[in-house]
Each structure stands twice: as structure tokens, then as C-alpha cells.
A and B are shown apart, each in its own frame.
Chain A
């Protein structure tokens, strides 16, 4: 647990705000836990891919392999009282919030032991006790829902934030541009999403910023094909 300081490989870019420092504080035990969690997520998604191709998982199966650094880095920066809401690409987000592998696979295979008792499926994992609000199938729907979660935190005067995760598909949906294109006033960050430490730094920065100044948009570059 001795502290180590590591420089991120890629610098942060910022818009309408200061960029966070490239020097990230971490420790060897944290880095090992990153590796363990990310490897577990990767193995889960690859296994899910095989199960889906064997038709043991039905319907849809959107995989997160390639983006593991995001789920893991974010969790390192926030608490289980900060809220997360995301799209249908939710398997690893569920694990990151403390979900168990067996609950995830049971859900994917439609079993009662599943985290949604088999009633949700791949796109509808939730973990309310860890403030993870799903798991949403309609592209872009999670964005105003996430605003609502943050609204509730502000209304109740809680010092917690909401992370609303979406991809480039949702970035086109009317609900999102309608709010943000009306004027160039929302600050932003551009982050190397393949670097768990950079993600951790960016999320820490974003949480502090949101509590003090309001919403911030962060673009995490990740490639999901390998």
C-alpha cells in the first residue's frame, strides 16, 4: 500500500475547464486490484460471447470487453453512494458495483438466481444497494434519467454525484444534443479510456467539478475491437 505516483501516457484535454494533472496517485495493491478486476471482466465477457454464440444466452448480448479500464478506474475514484446509470452494455458496470459473477451469468442464462431473477436479461442488470440504476435498452434514455438521479441528489442536498454513461450512438439521440447544443457552456474532458489510472484521475476530477460547478461531459476514448 505504499503510495506510487504514475504519469499517464496520454495527456488530458479539456474544454472550458482546467485539465487534471497527469500525475496519478496510486499504490501497488491498487494496481494489482485493477488487473484482477479487469482480467475477471474480460474473461466474463469472452465467456458470455461463447454462450451467446451457443444460444445459451438469448436475445441481445452487448459486450464490454475492451472498456474494462473504464469501469475499474471509475470505481476507484468514487463511492458506492455515487450513482451510475448506463446503457445496455452493463455487464461489467454491474461487476464494478460489487455484483457477483454467478448473479450475472445466471441472469444472462435466464435463471431465477440471476440479479434480476431472470426477468431482465443482458440489458437490465441493476444493483440498487450500490446505487447502480441499470441497464437501459433504449438508446439515449439513460441520459435524462441520469439527470434525474443527479437532480435527486441535489434536492436531498447529498454530496454525491451521478455518472451517466453513454456511447456514440446515444450522442446523436435528440434528448442529449437538445440540451447541450443550445450553447457552448458545458465543460468537457477528453481522456484515454484504455488507461485505468487516467480514468481514475478524470473521474475524481469530474466528481469534484460536478459538486462545485455543475455538469461536466467526459469523452473516454476506448477501442472495443481487438
Chain B
């Protein structure tokens, strides 16, 4: 698969696109037609880039380093569970509080993509298993999710690919704009139903709470853009 030729990075950032998206395992059945698959992968990549872009902005604006979303003492305990760890600088748990927040967010986003592919609104353990399988840097987590959940995921991918021309795991398309939008910060393009090749309801506004302050087209969030709220929040 030749992701790199179509992989355009919106801005010259110091943060390369998430490595995973360029190394995602091709579907077992073999990608029948790389283009739609590519395209959706690219969208996913863009979304993740948006996520990181937003996080970077947030970090520039942080003023409060004292109040965290995760308890520092607990973080420290977890660090100290490692016998080789002797002393911990005061800043390390603070940094981990931020790092874990990013980690939880990223893992959740990726898991949610799988839930949406399966048209569910409830995030389940197998969604997390899927995210772990699909993301190289999450390899260290494989032992946490049972093998059968992962196998299910792989079979699912194979099934989808085998069955449809578009071939894809419906990687999460961006929200907001009508189908014609290209590249950049597309948000709102409805998900394509691989079975019919038609655009179905837009993916949920998973990002709304995150992107609202940074989105350039806020209007599209309310109704999910052109496709409106078909069964959508």
C-alpha cells in the first residue's frame, strides 16, 4: 500500500503523522481497490493530526499546573511499582498526568472509530482491542485484551474487505463538510457505507467537545453539517 504518495501533511509540523496510519496492516484479504481505503485512512490520519494540533494549542494555553485530571500521588505509586525506580522528580508525575490524559484520549478516539464502524454508540472492550491491534505503538497493550477479541477484529476486517469493493474498515471520516471538501480540516463528511457505497449518517460529533474552540466552521457542529442529524446527537 502506498500511503505516502497521497499523504499530505497540512502543515510542516514537528509532529509526523501518527506512524500507525502509514503502517497499518493491509486487510488480510488484500485490498481490492486501494483508493477508497487509502482515502479513509487519510481522513483518519487527518483527524488524528487535528487532535494533536488541538492538544498542542491547549498546552500553549495551560496556566494551571497544579490541578490535574489524574491524581499525582497515584501516578507516583504506579511509577514506584517498578522496583528499579528509585527517586522521582516532582515534575515526572505532573508530566505523566498530561501524558496519560493524551494517551487516554487517543486510545478512546481510536476505539470509538471501531464502535462507529459497528454502528454502536456504546464503547466496548472489543473496540479497545481493535484500536490496540491497529496501532503499532499500542503493541505493548496486547496482553490486556483477550486474544479472542483481537481475532474477532481481524476477522471483521477481513470480512469487510472481502465483501465490499470499497474494502474498508470504515475508518472514521471527518465531520462537517460536504463530500466535495478535500484535504485539510475536513470535518463532517458522512461515513460511507461499504455495503451500498452510499454515504450514511455522519459520524458522531466525537470531536465536538474537543474541536469546537478550534474549528473554523463551528456552524457545522450543531447539526452535523449537510447530512444533518440523522439519528445523530
Q: Does A pair with B?
A: no
